[in-house]
Amino acid sequence: MRTGSRTRKLDLLDKNILPQNIIWYLAWPTIIEQVLQSMVQYVDSAMVGVLGAAATAAVAVNTSTIWLLNGLMNSVAIGFSVLVAREIGAGRPRQARNVVRQSILASSCSGVVLAVIVQMIAGKLPIWMGAADDVVPDAIIYMRYIAAVFPFTMGMIVFSAIIRSSGDTRTPLMFNILTNIINIIGNFLLIFPSRTILIGNSAFTIWGAGMGVGGAALSSAFSTSFSGLCLFAALFRKDHPAGISWKGDWKFDTQLLKTVVRLGTPVALERATLSFGQIALTKLVTGLGTVALASHHLANTAESITYLPPSGFATAATTLVAQSLGSGDRTLAKRYGKLCTMYGTALMTAMGVLMYLLAPQLMGVFTNDAAVIALGTKVLRIEAFAEPFFGLSLLVFGVLRGAGDTKGPFLISLFGMWIVRLPLAWALITFTNLGLAGAWIAMMGDLIVRGICSLWRFRGGSWLTTWK
């Protein structure tokens, strides 16, 4: 909002502004940012898909592991960002800046540790996942390049969450636009060999490194590093609500870090629960063959498009609930939680309808393999029926995390993945001829159960007093 020539920050707790206006103010840049973040994976999948099913499988076999590691990074981000939002809501900017400094120290150290660990096991990961012999070499290369920049990936995830929690959703958006431009250009130059293109009657030779899968990973690693560095620099802006300087105290704050661990541990366990479940499911699917694995990976990639817009409302819910409770206003927190959940779930339902109708076109974006497109279309249409329930769980999880109730999403995810999805998938794959469709029917069951359990916890209202 502007007053004269000066720009002032929108007060997210201003009761003179309609709540829906504040929600949209936060949500729309986050929606676009989520889409752009995922575009890195989509562009990689689409460009690598041109190289064939084996190349696609080399990326696919690492996806669940990368989700697991990104989930661990997100747990750190949620712990710090919720604390920053609380301090801002309570009107304590000095404490908010201290949290930001601690986030830099913690994310730097943990990013390096993760990078070293993954480099040590990267050579074994595709073998553990049961990848075919022709898939293993490219899968190892892909993982090594991605893992090498984990300190920057950690920074990108943590710093963008902190900046959003302060009410600034536009800065992460701006850097994500630049990141995607860099990634697309890098893919174009690194994946494919030098070639000649025709524009009208003129021929031009375009240089290419011809690195294949490794080129896609290298481009993603470089663009992610760029985003991480830019977001780090943004934390030092003087006009930012949580802006810091080099003059502050840079010693580890043990008490604050314990609070972050208390908030982040259930999130880490939740992501680990889901990611290990995804790894186990991928292991089951790998036994169905390369076409099934490629279809599973690309259908997951296509489906993720549907929950990017609702994720923007979930992020807005986390920020608004945290700041409202930080100011001591439970009524406002509940109102924001209800509105965000309604908007996000309605949007997710609409996205599910589009996914059902456009499933062949979505699969066609990532591959021209007819068998992969046909199988991927089939499973996407199965999943479309669970999208409203999936949206409900996404939005409620955002509300609960803003309130500090990170245990609830963990317990719900644990039940859905390990009690519903995996046993049912194993049974349907083993004892029926459904193949990959059986695995996705099990996924649908998991998401429906998660949505119902989430609604029950939200309506119970205990999350409003979780922080205390």
Cβ-contact 418, 443 below 8 angstroms:
no
pLDDT at 40: 64
Mean pLDDT in residue range 28-48? 73
CA dihedral 333, 451, 59, 57 (to 10 degrees): -170
At 202-258, the pLDDT tens digits run 777 888 888 888 998 999 899 999 999 999 999 998 877 778 888 877 899 999 999
pLDDT at 5: 36
Mean pLDDT in residue range 376-397? 95
| DSSP string of 304-368, one letter each residue | HTTTHHHHHHHHHHHHHHHHHHHTT-HHHHHHHHHHHHHHHHHHHHHHHHHHHHTHHHHHHHH--
In whole angstroms, what is the distance from residue 176 CA to residue 368 CA? 28
Please name the amino acid found at residue 323. Q
Q: Where are the alpha helices (DSSP H) in 416-435?
A: 422-431
Asked whether residue 1 carries a pLDDT value surpassing 80, the answer given is no
pLDDT at 398: 93
DSSP β-bridge partners for residue 198: 203
Cβ-contact 149, 224 below 8 angstroms:
yes
Separation of first and last alpha carbons in the chain:
34
**124 or 43, higher pLDDT:** 124
Greatest extent of the chain over all pairs of C-alpha atoms, in Å: 71
Q: Of 23-37, 39-53, 79-93, which has the strongest mean pLDDT? A: 79-93
Least confident of 48-57, 70-79, 90-99, 437-446: 48-57
pLDDT at 101: 94
In whole angstroms, what is the distance from residue 441 CA to residue 420 CA? 11
Asked whether residue 186 carries a pLDDT value surpassing 80, the answer given is yes
Asked whether residue 153 carries a pLDDT value surpassing 90, the answer given is yes
Least confident of 31-45, 348-362, 399-413: 31-45
pLDDT at 49: 75
In whole angstroms, what is the distance from residue 19 CA to residue 336 CA? 7
In whole angstroms, what is the distance from residue 39 CA to residue 184 CA? 9
pLDDT band at 41 (very low <50, low <70, confident <90, very high): low
pLDDT at 419: 96
